[in-house]
Structure 1
Amino acid sequence: MFIELLERVGSRIEKQDTFWRKSLSPVLRLAITLCYLVTGDSYKTLSYGFRVAHNTISLIIPKTCKAITAEYLKDVLACRTMPEQWKEHIAVTCPPNGGSHHYDYKGFHSIVLLALVDTDYKFLNVDVGTNVCSSDTGIFSTTALREALEINTLGLPEPVPLHGDDTPVSFSVIGDDAFALRSDSQ
């Protein structure tokens, strides 16, 4: 898989050698990025393992992620343009030894994605892979996001008035009717 990924994105992340320095190879750039994505290690920790300065790693990882996204965008996230395409289901194969854990009530294998997005459609929090037998509320109740909301450690701003009003309004997380209506005091 590493070699296949390298073949697809290698030319996008390759840099030219200069008179002053030899560039880091696409192999090393990809390895650093994948290690970061898998382990979540800090740039400092990765710098010791790969013998690359942490400030260089801070440039490599975002650029490599953008290259991967650009390379796979049309394959993985192709936007649907026809009504028939929107009706298609994505077939998920049963994970090895998955049994019925990922078998849903519609007769398909599926994986639950619970996400929080902002008003610009940017993902702020994602929980993926929970057993499909759980309800949305049950899944949410086990997330770090729910805990942070309950103990007020997200750092949400204080309530502010909406445009054209003087009554302060709290910042809110909005979900569908599967989620109970609660205030921050509950």
Structure 2
Amino acid sequence: MFIEQLERIGSRIEKQDTFWRKSLSPGLRLAITLCYLVTGDSYKTLSYGFRVAHNTISLIIPKTCKAITAEYLKDVLACRTMPEQWKEVASHFSNKWNFHYTVGALDCKHIAVTCPPNGGSHHYDYKGFHSIVLLALVDTDYKFLNVDVGTNVCSSDTGIFSTSALREALEINALGLPEPVPLYGDDTPVPFSLTGDDAFALRSDSQ
């Protein structure tokens, strides 16, 4: 997977050698960035492991992240806007997980971060570390359909969803979900829905 990713973004992060020094290879730049994203280690800690100055790492990581985003954006974050597109997502949930009329799986994830300057306890969560919250809606292939990042970690999953743009879009029917249709062999219309754990209340988009 690393080689595949390097082949896709290598040209975006490759730098030219100069008269004074040889540039760091795209593979090293990608490895440093992935290690940082996975472990959350500080730049100084990474500098010991990769033997690259921490101030250089501080320039590498943001640029590599931008390259990853530019290359993979359409592959991993493509929110559907048409009924037929949502029906395709629902068919995969039906065939793979036997969850009928499901157009996405919803959950929150605490992502560890270094406490921002003057952040106080704003990002300190109940698990005992500083974090930001990712609210994600994904399909059966774990690809993002919708994301919301940065909500106060003191909020519950339900509270985070209630204040998200996704909830607002559902209320005003801006996502383009299909109209309710009956299940096979029945005549009662069943709405298309999101699925999640018991932290999310069972309710319609109008509630």
With the length of structure 2 as denominator, give the TM-score of the two structures: 0.46
> What is the aligned-residue identity percentage?
95
Shift, 1:48, TM fit: 43
Q: Distance in 2 between matches of 1:54 and 1:170?
A: 52
Q: How much has 1:94 moved relative to structure 2?
A: 0.8
Is the CA contact 2:77–2:143 (under 8 Å) kept in the aligned structure 1? Answer: no
- 1:49 match: 49
Question: In the aligned structure 1, how far is the partner of 2:7 from the partner of 2:166?
Answer: 37
Residues 1:78 and 1:52: Cα distance change in structure 2 (over 3 Å): same
Give the Cα–Cα distance (whole angstroms) in 1 for the partners of residues 158 and 4 of structure 2. 39
Report Cα offsets for 1:43-95 as digits up to 9, x if no partner.
99999999999999999999999963699999999999999999999753212
CA offset digits 1:138-170 (Å, max 9, x no partner): 111211111111122221011234456555421
Distance 1:24 1:98, change over 3 A: closer
Alpha-carbon separation, structure 2, partners of 1:98 and 1:138: 21
Q: Secondary structure at the match of 1:132?
A: coil
CA apart distance, 1:4: 20
Q: Return the offset for 1:116.
A: 1.0
Q: CA deviation at 1:115?
A: 0.8
The verdict on how the C-alpha distance between 1:56 and 1:182 changes in structure 2, with shifts beyond 3 A counting, is farther
Partner of 2:134: 113
Q: Are 2:187 and 1:166 aligned?
A: yes
Tell me the secondary structure at the aligned position of residue 111 of structure 1: strand
Cα gap change, 1:139/1:49 in structure 2, threshold over 3 Å: closer, same or farther? same
Bigger mean CA offset, 21-30 vs 93-102: 21-30
Judge which range, 147-156 or 29-38, deviates more: 29-38
Q: Structure 1 pair 168/82, CA: closer, same or farther in 2 (3 Å)?
A: closer
| Counterpart residue number, 1:154 | 175
* Unpaired runs of at least 5, structure 2: 89-109
In structure 2, the residue corresponding to 1:81 is in which secondary structure? coil
**CA, structure 1 residues 108+75, in 2 after alignment: closer, same or farther (shift >3 Å)?**
farther
TM-superposed deviation, 1:101: 0.5
| C-alpha spacing 1:161/1:34, structure 2 compared with 1 (3 Å) | same
- Cα distance change on mapping 1:101 and 1:5 into 2, 3 Å: farther
Normalised to the residue count of structure 1, the TM-score between the two structures is 0.51
Change (3 A) 1:101 1:30: same
1:74 equivalent in structure 2: 74
